[in-house]
Amino acid sequence: MMKAAKQNNPTARKDAVRKYITQHVPGTFITFEQRQTLAADWNGLIRAGHRVTLRQFAAKHGLRHETWRREYNRGATGEAVPDPRDRRRRKYAEYDPFKAQDAINANNENKGARMRVTNRMALLFRRHVLEERLSPYDAICRMKDEMPGRRIPCLSTWYKHINAGDVGVRYGQTPYHPDRRPKGPRPHPAMTVPGRLTLDDRPAGAANRSRFGHYEMDTVVSSSSGTGGLLVLIDRRSRRYVIERLAHVTQDEVVAALKRMAARKALGKVRSITTDNGCEFLDPGKIKAVVGCNVYYTRAYASWEKGSIENCNRFVRRWYPKGTNFGKCTRADMLRLERVINSIHRKLLNGLTAYEYDTAYAKAA
């Protein structure tokens, strides 16, 4: 009973024929391999003298009649003439798959300029942004190394494709896609604690970023149910990021973390440190005893006054989002994260990473 139902179902018969002969899927283009398969069958029937029609041949291969008619006209090696045995039928010429493919290629050349973004570029871009969590600019720099000699489109072109949604990355899936909401005014900064060194007291090399060794310092804390956090510093000129794990966010732990940074020579010569008014930074004397320089404080509720470290902290949140318990992370994990962040290509460093910029210009400075 089921066999008879299947035989009476024309769709099931057509799918079976299509799968067996050409594997052509409706709505897709005929490939050159399929053209060769069609040519072998068609030319064999013509040479054997079979009185085949375009409609019968199309049904045999699971093609629409109009699809095979257009395909035959592209590759026909001659004109169809009336069949002398039956004037109602036509005697068709042989089909050349190479001639048909040349006609397709010639039509494709009239489609206009090719897209700057190729399928391979889109695949690499999607892997870098979605899987490796890189920014579009960093992904472009990586692609230039992976595809030498190829012209990689500029950043604005990629953002246009992201907005269009045709490269596999949608709006909002990049790490820091521009926010469409307007930003409100900055709050009025509070007064500073009397007796502390402020930003106005910093040397000129720290304010204008002209010298290496001027750092900004901050902490990245765990979730409310976790313990500890991270002590992070960034060089204001090279944007080189240094991370140390804190068992607890306290003054003594901050001093101990600074000693570990100095022991592994991660800071070099420190000329100044700019930080906020957090309770873990309230003893500038202990900090100065370790790094050998003054500590300068921003105004309360004015995080933009140490914007470099605040922006770089977002890199940490790519891999360790808010709610992470850093007490479960190892020091090796944080050192690995430090290498990853310092290997990100920065537009403000003319495409160099923090490591490359520090190597290229630190000695000269």
Supply 288's token pair.
């100065």
Q: Among 122-126, 189-193, 215-219, 262-266, whose mean pLDDT is lowest?
A: 189-193
Give the pLDDT of residue 2.
Answer: 41
pTM: 0.66
Supply 81's token pair.
């003439």
* CA–CA dist 342, 364 (Å, integer): 20
- DSSP symbol at 327: G
- Bridge partners (DSSP) of residue 36 are none
- Bridge partners (DSSP) of residue 69 are none
Check pLDDT > 90 for residue 138: yes
Please compute, for residue 32, the number of CA atoms within 13 A of its CA located in the half-sphere on the CB side.
7
Give the pLDDT of residue 23.
Answer: 52
Give the pLDDT of residue 187.
Answer: 67
Give the pLDDT of residue 226.
Answer: 83
Query: 161-218, pLDDT tens digit by residue?
Result: 998 888 889 888 888 766 666 777 776 666 667 778 989 899 998 999 999 999 999 9
* CA–CA dist 337, 230 (Å, integer): 12
Q: Which residues, 6+ apart, have CB-to-CB distance to 281 below 8 Å? A: 217, 251, 254, 275, 287, 295, 297
> Pick the residue with more confidence: 75 or 184?
75
Query: Which three-class secondary structure state does DSSP give residue 60?
Result: helix
Q: Which residues, 6+ apart, have CB-to-CB distance to 12 below 8 Å? A: 6
Asked whether the beta carbons of 39 and 96 are under 8 A apart, the reply is yes
Supply 167's token pair.
């490269």
Check pLDDT > 60 for residue 345: yes
> Pick the residue with more confidence: 126 or 177?
126
Q: What average pLDDT does the chain have?
A: 86
- For 147-278, where are the E strands, in sequence order? 214-221, 229-235, 241-246, 272-275
Check pLDDT > 90 for residue 304: no
CATH numeric code, 199-361: 3.30.420.10
pLDDT, mean of residues 134-148: 93
Give the pLDDT of residue 354.
Answer: 93
Asked whether the beta carbons of 244 and 261 are under 8 A apart, the reply is yes
Give the pLDDT of residue 15.
Answer: 46
Give the pLDDT of residue 102.
Answer: 92
Check pLDDT > 50 for residue 3: no
Per-residue H/E/C for 123-169:
HHHHHHHHHCCCCHHHHHHHHHHHCCCCCCCCHHHHHHHHHHCCCCC
Largest CA distance in the chain: 113
* CA–CA dist 224, 249 (Å, integer): 12
Q: Which residues, 6+ apart, have CB-to-CB distance to 249 below 8 Å? A: 219, 221, 228, 229, 280
Check pLDDT > 90 for residue 326: yes
Supply 313's token pair.
């902290």
- DSSP symbol at 209: T
Check pLDDT > 70 for residue 69: yes
Supply 365's token pair.
């400075």
- Structural domain spans, the chain: 2-111, 199-361
pLDDT, mean of residues 122-137: 92
Q: Strands across the sheet with 295-297, in order?
A: 241-246, 229-235, 214-221, 272-275, 295-297
Give the pLDDT of residue 316.
Answer: 93
* CA–CA dist 168, 166 (Å, integer): 6
Query: 8-58, pLDDT tens digit by residue?
Result: 554 444 444 444 455 556 667 888 989 999 999 999 998 988 888 899 999
> Pick the residue with more confidence: 233 or 116?
233
CA-wise closest residue to 291 among 342, 242, 346: 242
Place of tokens 């030319």: 43
* CA–CA dist 143, 131 (Å, integer): 15
Supply 283's token pair.
């003893």
